[in-house]
Structure 1
Amino acid sequence: MSTSRFQFASSNLSKLLAIPKYVLSWLLALVVPRDRASWAVGSGVGVGEGTLALARHLLHERPGTQITWLVADEAESELAAAEGFTPVLRNGWRGYWATLRAGTLVVTHGLGDVNRFGVFGGTTVQLWHGAPLKRIHLDSPVTTAVRGPALIRGLLRRMYARGTQQVSLYVAGSVTAAERLRSAFRVAPGKVAVLGDARDDALAQQALRPELALAARDTVARILAERGAAPLADGERLVLYAPTWRDGDTDPAIPNQRDLRAVSSALAATGARLIIRSHPLGEGEYGEAVGERIHLLGSDLIRDITPVLGAFDSVITDFSSIAIDFSLLERPIVWFAPDLEEYTRTRGLYEALAVTVGTPIARDWGGACEALTGVLTEGSAAERESVRAARVLANRFHQHRDGMSAARVLAAVERLRLPSRELVRQGGVFFESFYGRQVSCNPLAIDTEIAARYPQLPRYWSVTSERQQVPAGAIPVLVGGRDWFAARQHSRMLVVNDWLRYGFKRAAGQTVLQTWHGTMLKHLALGRPNVSIRTRLAIRRESRRWSMLLSQNPHSTEQFRHSYAFNGEILETGYPRDDRLAFADLGGSRNPIAVATARHALGIPDGKSVLVYAPTWRDRGSSVVDELDVNALATELGDDWIVVARGHTRTHAFGGYLSVNPNVIDASTHPDINDVILAADLLVTDYSSLMFDAAVAGVPLAFFVPDLTEYRDRERGFTFDFERAAPGPLLASRGEVVTHALALAEHGVDAGWVRASSAAYAEWRARFTPHDDGHATPRVVDRLTELGALPSVHTGHDTSRG
């Protein structure tokens, strides 16, 4: 059996019973001032983890800083005092008051590391206790586990969500970890910063300086000797076994006598000792495993194991983040998970364990011993492969490997306290496309022109991930972070293509250019059916934030006036994002160089015909739109065709298109939609505004609309007679799409033929793309300069002139 000092269900019950205390504490926090010079810190494991590394660095940099360590018992109190901190019991009145008064709060496991009732209004930093492999917090079903009616469970989820908003900064060691923290805590991307894991600073230094790793080995050897173990011999290996916590359930890997004999034999053969370290929150019955070469090293002996991981030659674990820490040393890791399927089903992993580890996973002690023997055999293939996998793991989960993460965290905390005007350069331009999910569309085209004309002008791009690339010279700002808010507030101009959020108010002298993101076929905003009073008020409030609107054509201008009740200036210039498409149109065909360049960017083999499928999103949809079934479509078209699938930005959260057929390419997140359009021999959509952009380049169009009546009459409705005006056939089955595509290929028709032979296509272009001549972008920037939104004198190249 295993025992547990913590279970989510009992903890959640106590949270619900404490609701009156939370309410009273929130009210008190409104009137009690905080002392910015004082810190209240804590950790779920006691005096350790990243909090200890940060607090030590703080005392080193600012001797005399008041640091109160919130402790659970007298033993922790003594450790905190020995470090120079003021220990206070976290659950008493003094702990509450110390938390309520401190300017900065630091935790590793949760708000309960300090006094959870005193956190309201504080600057709270969450140093998570390891890179998330298993699903955590709101991503894990066990987090909100509590018995009772749906109302109670819903209340508990809201309490957890409210708690996550009390944290000012979450710290991650890598972009991968940051993405998982954002998901688990349901916070804006800018609330999470990739600064490195402070808890790994000592270990990172051991990876850089071997003498420090030797010192860690001496520390472990001394502790073992004090417990009666024989002294370590020269060359003797140390192996750490560190299973993770199983939410209070029995640890399935506890060895029986047969297992112990196999372990002892493997240890003897490799000249090694096994050190067992059960998870601090769950203690397994490993007492009977102690032997000549097997020792226990519980949290009573070393409370925080991470700073001494350099003592070990190898680690055996299942799902523990200790493996991620240990990978910094680039030493062998043995993965041993006897309950892999059950654990994956009940707790959940962010990805299949096999994807994470990159090496075989042992399923019993026999397999673990075999793997251990292999990786401890110097020069063996097993050792080389395990070291390679550890290196890959380290590169993926440790963006910073210099042992200075605590310093970065402290600098980030200081930055949190700066006035917003000091976070950004004044008078710049802020760009956002699709709520920061892409660096694309009209804002990107306008950015290119502004950068050429005004190279010294600060340019800020809203992004949702560190993985996104912004234009050269631009500064990325993560959505919802302080820098993001500051850039919006202090830029002279904002260029956006969708709604502004988070209560934005346009400042005096500030220009907001709303470029929108396509000519509308379907109704939007006030034009939608059954719009509630609340939504109508929100729409009018939103349109008052804009200084001017960008329009592609007279139809859009009319719709914007009506749909957003907008009375400001509308720049009917054509779409900057379509300038490249216009230049690719040679009057009777598309520029073959432009087409080849686009296809190369998408990875399309030479000699293939290309069908692009680009459906729009659905108002109540919760999945990628694939009514056409792109894999079946590719099969029916045959090997001469490539199907490129492009999902709408609002469906990215639901995943992409699974490319079962090798002739399917998912281009949903490809950064430039113009590549997708120019690559197409035939573009198939339903109701997406891509139909207007594709017409700029003369790309053949077809419309897969089996739900035409439903969409037209019940979902959104159309702003004009689409069935009469459509510049291509309206198709209702995949078979019809295949027949149409093959007919085009068989007759060898090109874009020029389609345009010349179809009156509907010509009428469509005349009506919806009258200004798209390749010069829309300079026209927009010229007008912005005339209005004073941009400087009247510039030092860059004027791209509007030749």
Structure 2
Amino acid sequence: MRLLRRYLRGNAFLQRWRFGLWIALYSLASRLFRVQPGRTLFLSDSRTDFSGNIAFLRDEIARQRPDVTVVGIFKAGLAERRPLRDSLRLPWELARAQTIVLDDYYPMIYPLHLRPETRLLQVWHAAGAYKKVGWSRAGLPGGPLPGSVAHRNYTDATVSSEAIRSDYAEAFAMDIARVHPLGVPRTDVFFDTELIARTANEVRARLGIRPDQRVAVFAPTFRGNGQLSAHYDIDGVPWTDLAESLGDEWVVLVKLHPFVARKGADIPAHERIIDVSAERELNELLMAADVLITDYSSAIFEFSLLGRPMVFFCPDVEVYAAERSFYHPFEDYLAGPVVTEGADLAAAIRDARAGQDLAAFRERFMSACDGRSTERIVREMILTPRDVHERPRLLDDPPVQPTRIDGPVGRHLVAARVLRAALRACYAPLKLLPTRRKVVMISREHPVETDDFVDLRTSIIAMDPSVTVVSLVRMVPPGLVRKIGYAAHLLVQLYHVATARVLIVDTYSMVASMLRHKDDLVVIQIWHALGAFKKFGLSILGTGEGRDERLAEAMRMHEGYDLVLASGEACRAPYAEAFGTDASRIVVAPLPRVDRLRDDARNRETRERIYRRHPHLRGRKVAVFAPTFRIEDTAMAAPDDVVTALSEIGVHVVVKLHPLMTLRDGGVDTAEGFSTQEMLTVADVFITDYSSTLFEAAVRGVPTYFLAPDLDEYLATRDFYLDYRRDLPGPVCTTVAELVSAIDSGAANAADAAAFARRWVAETDAATGRSCTDRIARLVLDRVDGHSHAEALA
């Protein structure tokens, strides 16, 4: 049986087969439900409720985003049976979660291929890096076998310091770029001096410890390979002699590891030895401790934040090190004296002092813990949608074209007309429902809710909490089966639009344009790009990159807009052409993202987040290279050629490809975890070819260069609203060598970028002082309240 179990653990196919039912249910749920923005699922097989790190994270989520749904599914241990209710709901909760948070080994999750927009975050329960865990134990007793899927599907992990990122990258078999030194949530309390004093007094009062007595907390770790084999040699500690030697001025609190405590280990009775193993949280005991006695427990890392002495009782150090192994030499962890004989323990406790070695230890292993770990992890990881476009791909692969249709036009015309008739049939009875004070935002341009939608939704609710705002964001998936799931999403759209006052879209929407709506519904197009650069929409019908005119007519492409928002006055004519609407319906109102681009405080914070995660960028001259995608077969400059050439003049290149493009060279720096817009906060230079991100760079005042080796071919298939060779804010280069020369000579500058931005992106309304976001929110609320078109324009 042991050999069979070992074989199962080492075979990935059999591991997934074992969980086949869960995999099938999760796959079904992923097709029926979309990821809900912000929804967070906490999972643990080593606790019965919210406690430890996950309790801190839950409370911080409620503080930052009280509207977000938080779910927890727990059981006391791996050997415990999972309640049937939890077993049945787990796949459905996994499918709807934007972020799944673990704090320990969780075997149910590892066989799953999670949907790309779901973040699987491991906030490991231990701080520092002491005993080897996970894949660091490969080849050791209890370690994973070749072929195991354990730990391999985390998208992100958090750790307590920069110095130990590589240790956890090895433990979880993941790229070090996805290991973030953001701190440990439960350590935040160690920076609150009033809380520490209050908690210490409460612990003493609860346990009957006199004010004049000193407290030693004895907190050893377990021996064995994990939960099921955990044990500790209780009889190896001379408990009675220890208490008598310390005398009446000392009390020893014994906190065994939870894995050991659950098995009923008994501590010998003595009035000055108190077994506190039943208490879930060690941190409260540490706050009351004058000295910590431990061996190989990660409690040393938290306790180091208090600046108090430690004693290491390690009678089995040679055997333990051979069986379990440490990330670093054992001596590196010794921020206090080592005792190997029980008879010497009392003297070591009485004489223990905190020295300079403790400060160095704390800096090495706990430098990211500063009292704000919880806030950072929630803001930067849990509530931030995952960038699904950062997955490595091959540049040779044909680009995905989710919104284009190839093949015989006749077949697609029939399909378009059938779809239109079906939508009308479903929509007609829904229009009988009463209209509510509701705003619906729809996008199929992105897999998760965009910052523009998030900021606009927040502003609308802040101005008028009585208005309901519904955000429906989902890309049209490839494949027939997944499109059936999208059909259910369309039905949800129909219901909300039928009962709404305002519909906002940021690209072409079938529900917005193909149907006849109620007279009191206002449809507003807030196009997803700033400025007017490449021609799009009705401007390119019948061209290589545009749609067939007959299909566009059948789909009622961009019809039915009451208002179209544009970022600047220069966009009015191009947008009127692209959307086939009268110029009077174009309202100059830059997208909410412009507020972020102009927010110096937010940009400083974003810059520091980038530097914390990618410290190699700090102090370097950084160029962000962001080419756009091609549908026609034209050639862009190879990213690796740009990287190599610019490195010779001291410029480090970060490559941010369009979502529909792919990477060949995995060695190219993509600054994973941050969008192109966010990377502009650290960019000294921006390089593109035909990407509309040039407008964001201009607003930020970043000198911009254009690398377009296929310019003539691209002009023949796409064309622009401006003169590409004359109107851009920087030099146009057709070779990498020209680009290097131009950057080296400083041919582009911030002044040209700012002048370009003033032409295409309107300034903040000085008269009212409203931000771009608030101006749009006010316009939307005016339409919710039934104000006239002229009033809305005013």
TM-score normalised by L of structure 1: 0.47
TM-score normalised by L of structure 2: 0.48
